[in-house]
Amino acid sequence: ASQDAQNGEVIFKKCSACHAVGDGAKNKTGPVLTGVVGRAAGSVDGYKYGSGMQQAGANGLIWDEAHLTAYLEDPRAFLRAYLDDPKAKAKMTFKLKDSQDRRDVVAYLAGFSTH
């Protein structure tokens, strides 16, 4: 199915309790998401990631659209599978259940770059 960044903007309201995006965005409970598409996992300066996300970044995880949609479905299951570690920890407990909403919010995030 195609992606709808406008619906993604609406869906992002669920994320904005913990994340900011756009110019001048600051870390909150979660890291800034400006430029996240194409970025190395766990790489925002000044944000204290969990051990699982730090390990995923060290192992070379880059947030492309496929990895992001899989992460958003179930962050802990994603990290455990990616790291092949059934005990890996995830700091983000929020899950976005609807697959179209996942694609749309990723399309919305893809519209923000760090220049």
User: Which residues contribute to the site for ligand HEM (CB under 6 A)?
Assistant: 14-15, 17-19, 29-31, 33, 36, 41-42, 44, 49-50, 52-53, 63, 68, 72, 90-92, 94, 96, 105
Contact 40, 61 (CB under 8 A): yes
Q: How far apart, in whole angstroms, are the C-alpha atoms of residue 77 and residue 93?
A: 10
Q: Which is nearer to ligand HEM, 35 or 115 (CB)?
A: 35
Neighbours of 75 (CB within 10 A): 20
**Least distance in Å: CB of 3 to ligand HEM?**
13
Q: Which is nearer to ligand HEM, 23 or 104 (CB)?
A: 104
Q: How far apart, in whole angstroms, are the C-alpha atoms of residue 75 and residue 53?
A: 10
Q: Which is nearer to ligand HEM, 23 or 75 (CB)?
A: 75
Q: What is the DSSP letter of 40?
A: B
- In the numeric block, the tokens 């220049």 are attached to 115
**Least distance in Å: CB of 24 to ligand HEM?**
17
